[in-house]
Structure 1
Amino acid sequence: MRVAVVIPAFNEAATVAGIAEEALQYTQTVIVVDDGSDDDTATQLLELPVTLIRNDTNLGKAASMARGFAAALAQSMDVVITLDADGQHRPADIPRLIEAAVKYPGDIIIAARLQGRDSMPRSRRFGNWQADFWIAWAAGYPIRDSQCGYRLYPAALLQRLGVRGGRRNSFVFESEVLIEAARIGCYARCIPIDTIYGGSPRASHYRAASDTMRIILMVAGNLIRSGLYPLGLLRSLGLLAHPGITLNESEAKSPDALS
């Protein structure tokens, strides 16, 4: 299996080199997209055998991922793994994502932050729980940690769906792709990983009010267009079996919002 790792980075000089170097232990193809950083993010990578793509200005996460995906697909990769540059995703979990991809070929694999969740602020946990509920409803099956960007995508799925760039879609893509993928028979499978929160010295790039509202509007639009998808609600709650997917217990059981 040909594996590429794509790392979007914006002002991550303190952590990006360590993350990229560790990722290189598991694949020879590591692509870092510097999203117009005004610190030494790019300089930190000059000694490493990675593909460095630089945006002239800060375009947002979705646009950076789109460029990284394009570079990976141009090299005929089979799967693309995305992880953040801030140290909250451990490259050591890459083999587990690949193992899951072998077990579930053609599906998205989410490295779900289900272990040690107490390190995440309660407000963030509650927000993630809400997102899981709405996105699972629109997708039509239970999804855990829908907001985690540590994922494995089949290259064929990326070629089929593409990525909408632009700042307005910066954090919408990772939610929207789960819904759109489900409609063509591609589902999200979860493997549990440790929750690492607060490891980066800089503030989160996620803008709680505006980015959350964009995700809500995207999901609401999908539900309205599908007639509120009542079957999807029942399936997402585990009250009705999904005809196209069988979930194991760890995937189907929804985590408590504040556990």
Structure 2
Amino acid sequence: MQVLNSTGQSYPFTVTVVMPAYNEAHGIAAVVERVRDALPDAEILVVDDASTDATGAAAAAAGARVERHPANRGNGAAVKTGIRRATGDVVLLMDADGQMDPRYIPAILDGIADGYDMVVGARTRDTQGDSLPRRLGNRALDALGGYLVETEVRDLTSGYRAMRREIIMEYIHLLPNRYSYPTTSTLALLKGGHGVGFVTIEGKRRGGGQSGQKLMRNGIRFGLIILRIISLFAPLRVYFPVAVLMFSLGLLSWLLNMFLLEPARGLYIPNSALLLFVGSIIIFLFGLLAEQLAALRFQRHER
């Protein structure tokens, strides 16, 4: 069955809108109604992550299908539950707190209709956070992610996105149970050779409550997740620069020792340089082995 949006445009696929929710009873009904207005024929699935208020009841009363976790598992775990339980060909992920404007849904789904496997609602630079440090942190993550996947990426932390369900199911085991599933899913699909598009949107500040994100803690977490994903899909992008840096430092240490510190000892290699040389070789070999394992993984997937 085709899905119609509020303008009467039809899509050649069915859509499930997945909204992870935790203690959002105060506003989730309004969010569900706005999404229903934008996509009258779509399935709206709210995953209640063991809320202590009436989030599930409010969502159900507004017309959403509700799946409830018996215990709080985290935002990412709720997203994974939603993807697994979705019935649509395309999964559209949205937060349940009203930050994401449903008026961008047609533009995001148009990207899927044009052939992309994932389309991300990329917030403008001045709406990527409530503070300058957070915006700068998101910008740094985008730059690091772009270097690692060798293509431009925008707003890696945006949770407003649509994706083909059959594609994301191939990588769902990589998504973390807490935050950072947007970062992981974007990089996983890009390194898997899938088409990822970006639609410019304007974000909103959170309407109620306080965000569970902590700038420093989650910035470090996002960076580690990026490195973990690249280690799975393109390890040499991480290991080779580190090996080159260590080898260069070892060479510098050797030259300084030979010409400035202890020239009388000639070609003697100091212990510091020797350790850096050996370490660079070991790291490069680890990266080469990991690269071969990644290649074997893709070969099995293609078969």
TM-score for the superposition, normalised by structure 1: 0.79
Q: What is the aligned partner in structure 1 of residue 33 from structure 2?
A: 21
Secondary structure (helix, strand or coil) at the match of 1:181 reads helix
Deviation at 1:172, TM superposition (A): 2.7
Q: What is the aligned partner in structure 2 of residue 141 from structure 1?
A: 151
Measured in 1, the distance between the counterparts of 2:150 and 2:162 equals 20
Measured in 2, the distance between the counterparts of 1:120 and 1:106 equals 30
Q: What is the aligned partner in structure 1 of residue 110 from structure 2?
A: 99
Q: What is the aligned partner in structure 2 of residue 159 from structure 1?
A: 169
Further displaced range: 49-58 or 143-152: 49-58
Would the aligned equivalents of 1:163 and 1:173 in 2 still touch at CA under 8 Å? no
Letter in 2 for 1:91: P
Point out the structure with the larger helix share: 2
Residue-by-residue CA offset, 1:140-171 (whole Å, 9 max, x unaligned): 21011111000001112122212446xx6412
Would the aligned equivalents of 2:116 and 2:196 in 1 still touch at CA under 8 Å? no
Is 2:97 the counterpart of 1:86? Answer: yes
Would the aligned equivalents of 1:115 and 1:195 in 2 still touch at CA under 8 Å? no
Would the aligned equivalents of 1:66 and 1:164 in 2 still touch at CA under 8 Å? no
Is 2:2 the counterpart of 1:2? Answer: no
Higher relative contact order (CA 8 A, sep 6+): 1
Which runs of 5 or more structure 2 residues have no equivalent in the other structure? 1-12, 241-303
Secondary structure (helix, strand or coil) at the match of 1:32 reads strand
Q: Structure 1 pair 176/107, CA: closer, same or farther in 2 (3 Å)?
A: same
Deviation at 1:21, TM superposition (A): 1.3
Deviation at 1:190, TM superposition (A): 0.9
Letter in 2 for 1:53: E
Alignment of 1:149-188 (within 5 A): 149-164=159-174, 169-188=177-196
Measured in 2, the distance between the counterparts of 1:56 and 1:169 equals 15
Percent of pairs identical after alignment?
24
Measured in 2, the distance between the counterparts of 1:223 and 1:90 equals 32
Q: What is the aligned partner in structure 2 of residue 60 from structure 1?
A: 74
Secondary structure (helix, strand or coil) at the match of 1:228 reads helix
Q: What is the aligned partner in structure 1 of residue 226 from structure 2?
A: 219
Secondary structure (helix, strand or coil) at the match of 1:42 reads helix
Secondary structure (helix, strand or coil) at the match of 2:67 reads strand
Measured in 1, the distance between the counterparts of 2:239 and 2:228 equals 15
Would the aligned equivalents of 2:156 and 2:183 in 1 still touch at CA under 8 Å? yes
Residue-by-residue CA offset, 1:186-233 (whole Å, 9 max, x unaligned): 1321111112113x21001223333322221122344566223699xx
Would the aligned equivalents of 2:154 and 2:198 in 1 still touch at CA under 8 Å? yes
Which runs of 5 or more structure 1 residues have no equivalent in the other structure? 232-259
Secondary structure (helix, strand or coil) at the match of 2:237 reads coil
Q: What is the aligned partner in structure 1 of residue 200 from structure 2?
A: 192
Measured in 2, the distance between the counterparts of 1:221 and 1:116 equals 28
Measured in 1, the distance between the counterparts of 2:199 and 2:90 equals 16
TM-score for the superposition, normalised by structure 2: 0.68
Secondary structure (helix, strand or coil) at the match of 2:210 reads coil
Measured in 1, the distance between the counterparts of 2:201 and 2:125 equals 6
Deviation at 1:97, TM superposition (A): 0.8
> What is the CA RMSD across the aligned residues, in angstroms?
2.4
Would the aligned equivalents of 1:114 and 1:195 in 2 still touch at CA under 8 Å? yes
Q: What is the aligned partner in structure 1 of residue 263 from structure 2?
A: none
Measured in 2, the distance between the counterparts of 1:192 and 1:47 equals 32
Further displaced range: 81-90 or 43-52: 43-52
Aligned length: 225
Residue-by-residue CA offset, 1:89-123 (whole Å, 9 max, x unaligned): 011211111111112x2421011111753873212
Would the aligned equivalents of 1:8 and 1:83 in 2 still touch at CA under 8 Å? yes
Letter in 1 for 2:201: I
Is 2:50 the counterpart of 1:39? Answer: no
> Could you tell me which of 120, 127, 141 is aligned with 2:130?
120
Would the aligned equivalents of 1:31 and 1:51 in 2 still touch at CA under 8 Å? yes
